[in-house]
Structure 1
């Protein structure tokens, strides 16, 4: 029988309803793990190791969860840990997260959520890259736009040359596999290495990655003479006389292999490119700055790049509804997964392609952008929290004001320049040195360089 629309529980309704039931069980002093499967259905796992649960309450909780969730209740809505074969592994899973919207209460058990998805889990697995085994530090910066067409790839190329001019060993890795572009923009097609990121992902899956040519030193000569600019493209130039089956490779790169998921495979591919620079460069120096040109959208590549692989994420956007709706969904996911505090301080908005016209002056545009950005970021900032003893509201630990120019929401500007639309580096050599390009990117280069070369972990540059 089909339920009336007004009474039907939909996907968005299921989680808060399941959480409410979980907290009823936790109020009895029991630890609860709420498990959501890949279809969105929930089951309660109750830890009864320390306290026995009788059949009556267990049946009542299962019945309540089924009534509340309808189609989004699992076939077995309640499981007791004592009856599970691998309960300790399940209850001790590092992927299970506490509910960030509720504070623990005295006498209550804990409530955690284990969310199983087909894709996208890496948005909620936030971490900071670790130093290399020799103690050296490579500072990785992701450049990401929720939507394409915001000038992210061009900005990556401009920033890469600027950082090389400062004396850094810079590696640019093109992770926009479905729409590769930064490789040819920096090196030209003839100077690309024979292999690309897709080759590393495909060949490593069958233990055949030795000897790949993954990174190439560009022909750019940095002004200081100390820097180097390398590129690791998504698509290599291939081998003469052999067809380069890019689409066939791309269709296989996202597969997990035994013992290694896609996130680990992508991280290993980037590491292999960094090692190639160290091995093949005349100086023998490893890259100290890596720029990751990420795929747009809420995609697994962007998830891994931002959440797990970078120290800084520059988020590109325009002041329109699509930008703020998209970032709003992403920020809400970080908040609900409990990762807001881990992710927010390595984010920074970039206002790209800023117009300056009588209809919309630049200053008015930036003011509007900043206000919308602050509203969007507010879900990641600390709300007032109740004091443990008195319940009195105290200000959160990280609540930047609208005017705080060092806060994640404060936009770094890039001016719109029509001369950059449809740019082809092969037919426009020296394009980055032109006056209109330097004017458009002046503030962006100054601010991004400061963020990248002043490592917040040490207050020193890389």
Structure 2
């Protein structure tokens, strides 16, 4: 067992508690390790088939007490004394851990991690077809840090997809800092926004909200459509629009519906509104989710549950790779590495191209650090193993001779999730007044900056029914 320090801090508590749980399991008992919302641990021992003597109880209790402030007031419980023990141990929120040993039976160790926010980072799913068989491609655009040009890129991409004859809906999920709505729709916002659906649905009052508006953008072909669902609406004449008051209430869970469920319902309502109000009576072909930055529940839901492709924006700096490293590690430790990596693709934003800092040099450095970040967490570790070990149930990593085929692309693989899609930096993009610049996306410096991004992202979006991170393709032509 790892030596217990005199004062246990948060980061030290988890591996120490897991060691204690493993030691208990090694004595033949199934164990559930529970972490509460403050980070404190308790252990539930399944003693329904074999009793626990007093000596073991005292020894286990003493070991848990060594966690100090990170042990609950009653850190040891027994399944024979709990209500619905079987349901508790089979909880869908529990992540299994390997539990096999030679010789006598070794029990299993399972972890239930209770948090106030952030649980949806560990719940990965991909949207399926609608009941009528139609398919809407949802893409989340996310940056760990703000200021990487994500919103402008969303606007450029939306107009480009509309030019490809697609019905495009852009949903502003950057609730604390809304911007894509006015950028695309100008002053013609609908009466209500995403926050209105979230607060009204909480009290069963979300019917008939005006959530979307068709922008004035005219696609080149004349057949595409561009719609926007803003974070905030413009309200009703004569009635003050209390955006901050609404925002203070949107993240609450309600009876029978978590925040994640309610956000998913809000996006779906926006899609249905396009179908209801549009000329073609069709749901959007593409939905772009402009997600807020940082490790936040909105981003968690957008990436983990709502999209089939997530474009991850970043600059080549320490903040980017530390942030994404923390995020990827959370997915890896929760057992979701395999599911989430199929959705991901890195975007290198604001790429310089000058005599002193060439685009190629910058992208080579970006790709190398991106590869290191993915390889350390989301990619499978290829290890020669004559025995052919099974995949680890937590990390999903496998050996080279295991029964599963490991996913470990080469650094130079231009279809891999870590391989950056570039957006060039141009001084003209700084402070550009897109609202008052007609057809600003047609200007030469804008086309040059986004050419490679559009050519790579468009086929990824349109050919990713089951996750787009590891697909590849290129589009002929330019922006």
Alpha-carbon separation, structure 1, partners of 2:35 and 2:131: 38
Residue of structure 2 in register with 1:440 after alignment? 449
Residue of structure 2 in register with 1:41 after alignment? 40
CA gap 1:108/1:338 in 2 versus in 1, 3 angstroms: same
1:339, CA displacement in angstroms? 1.1
Determine if contact 1:185/1:424 at 8 Å carries over to the other structure: no
Alpha-carbon separation, structure 2, partners of 1:134 and 1:59: 60
Q: How does 1:97-112 map to 2 (within 5 A)?
A: 97-99=95-97, 104-105=100-101, 107-112=105-110
Superposition TM-score, scaled by structure 1 size: 0.94
Q: How does 1:394-409 map to 2 (within 5 A)?
A: 394=400, 397-409=406-418
Structure 2 alignment gaps of length 5 or more: 390-397, 474-479
1:364 correspondence with 2:373:
no
Residue of structure 1 in register with 2:321 after alignment? 324
Alpha-carbon separation, structure 2, partners of 1:364 and 1:373: 14
1:455 correspondence with 2:453:
no
Q: What SS class does the counterpart of residue 156 from structure 1 fall into?
A: helix
Alpha-carbon separation, structure 1, partners of 2:89 and 2:251: 29
Residue of structure 1 in register with 2:393 after alignment? none
1:225, CA displacement in angstroms? 2.7
Residues 74-106 of structure 1, C-alpha deviation per residue, up to 9 Å, x if partnerless? 21222111111132232111011124xx57445
Q: What SS class does the counterpart of residue 137 from structure 1 fall into?
A: coil
Alpha-carbon separation, structure 1, partners of 2:75 and 2:329: 27
1:385, CA displacement in angstroms? 5.0
Find 1:429's aligned residue among 426, 435, 438: 438
What is the number of residues matched between the two proteins? 453
Alpha-carbon separation, structure 2, partners of 1:393 and 1:219: 54
Determine if contact 1:184/1:425 at 8 Å carries over to the other structure: no
Residues 275-326 of structure 1, C-alpha deviation per residue, up to 9 Å, x if partnerless? 1011111110001211000000111100111111110100000000111111
CA gap 1:386/1:338 in 2 versus in 1, 3 angstroms: farther
Residue of structure 2 in register with 1:266 after alignment? 263
Determine if contact 1:171/1:232 at 8 Å carries over to the other structure: yes
1:61, CA displacement in angstroms? 1.6
Find 2:423's aligned residue among 414, 419, 423: 414
1:264, CA displacement in angstroms? 0.7
Residue of structure 2 in register with 1:209 after alignment? 206
Find 2:197's aligned residue among 196, 200, 208: 200
Alpha-carbon separation, structure 2, partners of 1:104 and 1:312: 36
1:446, CA displacement in angstroms? 0.9
**Once structures 1 and 2 are overlaid, which stretch shifts more, 358-367 or 151-160?**
358-367
**Once structures 1 and 2 are overlaid, which stretch shifts more, 78-87 or 417-426?**
417-426
Superposition TM-score, scaled by structure 2 size: 0.90
Q: How does 1:135-154 map to 2 (within 5 A)?
A: 135-154=133-152
**Once structures 1 and 2 are overlaid, which stretch shifts more, 380-389 or 245-254?**
380-389
Alpha-carbon separation, structure 2, partners of 1:369 and 1:152: 17
1:302 correspondence with 2:299:
yes
Residue of structure 1 in register with 2:395 after alignment? none
1:456, CA displacement in angstroms? 5.0
Residues 94-142 of structure 1, C-alpha deviation per residue, up to 9 Å, x if partnerless? 011124xx57445422211100011111111111113222222111100
Alpha-carbon separation, structure 2, partners of 1:460 and 1:150: 23
Alpha-carbon separation, structure 2, partners of 1:237 and 1:323: 35
Residue of structure 1 in register with 2:17 after alignment? 18
1:151, CA displacement in angstroms? 0.3
Residue of structure 1 in register with 2:286 after alignment? 289
Residue of structure 2 in register with 1:118 after alignment? 116
Residue of structure 2 in register with 1:62 after alignment? 61
Alpha-carbon separation, structure 1, partners of 2:243 and 2:315: 32
CA gap 1:135/1:28 in 2 versus in 1, 3 angstroms: farther
Find 1:76's aligned residue among 63, 74, 77: 74
Alpha-carbon separation, structure 2, partners of 1:274 and 1:404: 35
Q: What SS class does the counterpart of residue 106 from structure 2 fall into?
A: coil
Alpha-carbon separation, structure 2, partners of 1:306 and 1:390: 33
Residue of structure 2 in register with 1:53 after alignment? 52
Q: What SS class does the counterpart of residue 238 from structure 1 fall into?
A: coil
Determine if contact 1:139/1:452 at 8 Å carries over to the other structure: yes
Q: What SS class does the counterpart of residue 174 from structure 2 fall into?
A: coil
Residue of structure 2 in register with 1:133 after alignment? 131
1:386, CA displacement in angstroms? 6.9
**Once structures 1 and 2 are overlaid, which stretch shifts more, 398-407 or 84-93?**
84-93
Q: What SS class does the counterpart of residue 262 from structure 2 fall into?
A: helix
Residue of structure 2 in register with 1:352 after alignment? 349
Alpha-carbon separation, structure 1, partners of 2:302 and 2:34: 26
Determine if contact 1:38/1:116 at 8 Å carries over to the other structure: yes
**Once structures 1 and 2 are overlaid, which stretch shifts more, 305-314 or 221-230?**
221-230
CA gap 1:139/1:456 in 2 versus in 1, 3 angstroms: closer
Residue of structure 1 in register with 2:247 after alignment? 250
CA gap 1:77/1:388 in 2 versus in 1, 3 angstroms: farther
Q: What SS class does the counterpart of residue 394 from structure 1 fall into?
A: coil
Q: What SS class does the counterpart of residue 7 from structure 1 fall into?
A: coil
1:387, CA displacement in angstroms? 4.5
